[in-house]
Amino acid sequence: MPLFGTDGVRGLANGPLTADLALTLAQATAVVLGQGRTADARRAAGRRITAVVARDPRVSGEFLSAAVEAGLASSGVDVYDAGVLPTPAAAFLIADIDADFGVMVSASHNPAPDNGIKIFARGGVKLPDVVEERIEHAMTGQKLQPTGADVGRIRRFADAEDRYVVHLLASLPHRLDGIHVVLDCAHGAASGVSPETFRDAGARVTVIGADPDGLNINDGVGSTHLDRLAEAVLAHGADVGIAHDGDADRCLAVDAQGRVVDGDQIMAILAVSMKERGRLVGDTLVTTVMSNLGLHRAMADHGIRVETTAVGDRYVLEKMNEGGFSLGGEQSGHVIMSEFATTGDGLLTGLHLVAEMARRTTTLAELASVMTVYPQVLENVRDVDRTRVADPVIASAVAEVQAALGDSGRVLLRASGTEPLVRVMVEAADADVAQQSASHLADVVRDRLALS
């Protein structure tokens, strides 16, 4: 089974994801990413190979980041330790100081016992599959073993947070003066930097979920648990709530009435704003097949083209890079604004969302009304042979349901990449129709693909 998943290496900390693995992975990364013409030119000029390392506040990040830094330094890489910062901050800093690569130790929205290692190449960009394969192969090969003055140094990146905050503030098209924001930082990596940045941008800020103790990350708070944020917005009479996940590469929102505004709605708001301001390259939004039909309809109404990819922010990024597009993302709240970031950035997204409220002097509910969210039902059919999802009987059933829905609905079947599971998603203008259609198709999948 491949070591790298859809977003780096992830697993139970000190289970599969040990200090030994982290150290070996870092050494292999130094071998692969410390090569090439740019690295050779640096060495020829007497410059060292450098890397940025950051982590979220979960307790296992302490020993895992130490192991990563030890692996890099023992391979001759100078390490800039940025401490606890969001994943997008690490990506930004790699580019900002022209480091050769970087490592983020985080399991994002997963619970505290898990952790992960994400690797970014020069410029703060995610690695393509072929480079991940080279790193995995290098883990069993010859390591770099410099001695004496050639070993790497580990230095505290003292102004890492300040650099990131200045970058975020410089990106804003409008200040946030007069807007009351509740921030839910998921007891995660954004707990310090997000409140500071929103206040510096002019917002009045109330904070929840910003007391990380190493064990409470994502525990009942953050973008995967929006009830507390909605309650806080209503209790404080705030204008908007912004929720991050553990490493702050996501952003979801809650309006003044406590209603959730998801990633599709956020992308719709930003796409329309960017088009009005001439910042939406090619008048195009890139999103995944899971985005709501209402988003497609709203974008068509505003003359915005939608490019669709497979599920995963890495595929959104690939499509954005291919076309040079400036906005893309996922329903889950991974929103990529390529003018300012190389990856999803929950702080950047939240700031620009609230800035649009300030620019338009209107409510989030009014902005979100740009799209009508179609009822969407997702059923996970377990213990089935996912390799036979193209079964002709299933295909016929899907075609029948799609024909019945017509232009007012959509059907999507997706086989899991790792589990014996098929996901059935149906959207329709009527919630009951969506539920009935999804249940029917789930029954067909279960009957046809059941494991004996």
Residue numbers belonging to the annotated binding site for Mg(2+):
108, 245, 247, 249
Question: What would the two tokens of residue 296 be?
Answer: 């497609």
Of residues 388, 374, 379, 371, the one with CA closest to residue 412: 379
3-class SS of residue 123? coil
3-class SS of residue 384? strand
Of residues 319, 293, 310, 430, the one with CA closest to residue 373: 293
Are 157 and 80 a contacting pair, CB within 8 Å?
yes
What is the edge-to-edge ordering of all strands in the sheet holding 305-309? 305-309, 284-288, 327-329, 335-337
- Which residue ranges make up the annotated binding site? 108, 245, 247, 249
Calpha distance 88→190 (Å, rounded): 10
Supply the DSSP symbol for 172: -
Of residues 100, 87, 70, the one with CA closest to residue 8: 87
Q: Phi and psi at residue 416, in whole multiples of 5°?
A: -65, 145
Calpha distance 106→269 (Å, rounded): 29
Q: Please count the other Cβ atoms lying within 10 Å of the Cβ belonging to residue 388.
A: 13
Determine whether 108 is an active site residue: yes
Calpha distance 96→83 (Å, rounded): 16
> Annotated catalytic residue: which of 108, 194, 223, 273?
108
Calpha distance 116→3 (Å, rounded): 11
Contacts of 390 (CB under 8 A, 6+ apart): none
Calpha distance 10→439 (Å, rounded): 33
Of residues 72, 156, 114, the one with CA closest to residue 247: 114
Question: What would the two tokens of residue 201 be?
Answer: 């941008």
Side-chain half-sphere of 212: how many Cα atoms within 13 Å? Answer: 27
Catalytic residue numbers, as ranges? 108
